[in-house]
Amino acid sequence: MNLQYISDNKGKTTGVFIPIQEWEGLKEKFKGLEEEELGEQSKEEILSGFKQAVEEMNLIKQGKLKARDAKDLLDEL
């Protein structure tokens, strides 16, 4: 495997570069890697996120929670 290590300006290794051909081979060998790469969520995780969002909106409407700035919200995504 032809890996290239990425370092910061202090010499600390911060990442690894994997050539695309080797990455494709790893995805084929380990089927779960592609799901991790795409960041796929289960139906339960998506529904849980929606439930939390609705609960937060209700708290904001009741004045029990402060609304976040839209820019901050988008930066979080």
Residue position matching structure tokens 């010499």: 11
Band of residue 47 on the pLDDT scale cut at 50, 70, 90: confident
Residues 33 and 45 in one domain: no
- Residue 76 confidence (pLDDT) above 70: no
**Confidence (pLDDT) at 37:** 54
Mean pLDDT of the chain: 80
Kindly report the CA angle at 32 between 74 and 22, in degrees rounded to 5?
95
Range of the domain at 3: 1-40
**Confidence (pLDDT) at 35:** 62
pTM for the predicted model, two decimal places: 0.42
- Cβ atoms of 15 and 8 within 8 Å: the answer is no
Residues 35 and 2 in one domain: yes
Segment holding 38, helix H or strand E: helix 32-38
Residues 46 and 36 in one domain: no
Band of residue 50 on the pLDDT scale cut at 50, 70, 90: confident
